Amino acid sequence: MQQAVLWHLRQAAERYGGDLPLRVTAQLAEAAAAPIASPETTTTPRPPAPPRRPSPPPSHDEPELASEFATLDELRETTANCTRCKLHTGRKNLVFGEGNPNAELMFVGEAPGAREDEQGRPFVGPAGQLLDRIIENAIGMQRADVYIANVNKCRPPGNRNPEPDEVAACLPILKNQIALIRPKLIVAMGRVAAANLLSTTQSVTRLRGQTLRAHGVPVVVTWHPAYLLRNPAAKVETWEDVKRVNRMLGRPEVPGR
Ligand code: SF4
């Protein structure tokens, strides 16, 4: 009978393609290690574990964040000379973020580029100009109506992606910004923003169109404007994402396209 249990569990292993749920793995190990039982002590074999359910959508939906600071200005002053990660050594300016401190819509990107580093303002280069056009033409707001920030506040050398230790050091600043602004919706632009807001390794392609939340705030994932400059065909998808933003904010659809 013990052999029958093993047979059933191995069948389950084959069905799962080797990627077994923990419970089945434990059963296999237990059955293999156990001595062959006498007929009097054998039991009816348990059916194999049911197939795995699809993994839940990525989310970093912790309880709503509480800020350690009273205002964005206080947070900005406290972090003005930040040296929490090695990116401080190469920066010209720390790019804290800017916009309406009571914005209902917040955009989050990756990290400053060369222009942003020069000016100490987020999204002021060609990608920023495209973001301005998206905000104005597709959402019907002005740049000053929203809040724009990055995961990292200092420019990585050569515009490389921020490294995990740099993200970990800087993320508390973004979390405090979210807690102070309390937006109705966050638009995560690109993989780095999406991955770190949602604690996921899923791609932008997988995350687009999903109903997501981070820190108590709904999140829409879309392409980074710099990606759109390199891949103009993806603007069609960004247009779809922006229509979702308008619906989620209860805003009228902006005509066009
Ligand atoms: S990137 Fe963030 S954590 Fe690193 S030095 Fe700049 S502000 Fe500080």
Sequence spans of domains, the chain: 2-41, 72-248
pTM here is 0.77
How high is the pLDDT of residue 174? 97
C-alpha 159 – ligand 1 centre gap (Å): 15
How high is the pLDDT of residue 68? 86
C-alpha 167 – ligand 1 centre gap (Å): 8
Contact 16, 53 (CB under 8 A): no
How high is the pLDDT of residue 35? 43
How high is the pLDDT of residue 44? 54
What's the pLDDT tens digit per position in 126-174? 999 999 999 999 999 999 999 999 999 999 999 999 999 999 999 999 9
Return the residue whose CA atom lies nearest to atom 4 of ligand 1. 85
How high is the pLDDT of residue 39? 37
Classify domain 72-248 by CATH architecture.
3-Layer(aba) Sandwich (3.40)
What's the pLDDT tens digit per position in 62-71? 666 788 899 9
Between CA 199 and CA 65 the distance in angstroms is 15
Mark the ranges of the chain whose per-residue pLDDT is less than 70.
1-64, 255-257
Residues in CB range of 208: below 8 A, 6 or more apart: 221, 222, 237, 241
Return the residue whose CA atom lies nearest to atom 2 of ligand 1. 170
Angle (CA) 253-184-190 rounded to 5° is: 80
What's the chain's length in residues?
257
Contact 91, 132 (CB under 8 A): no
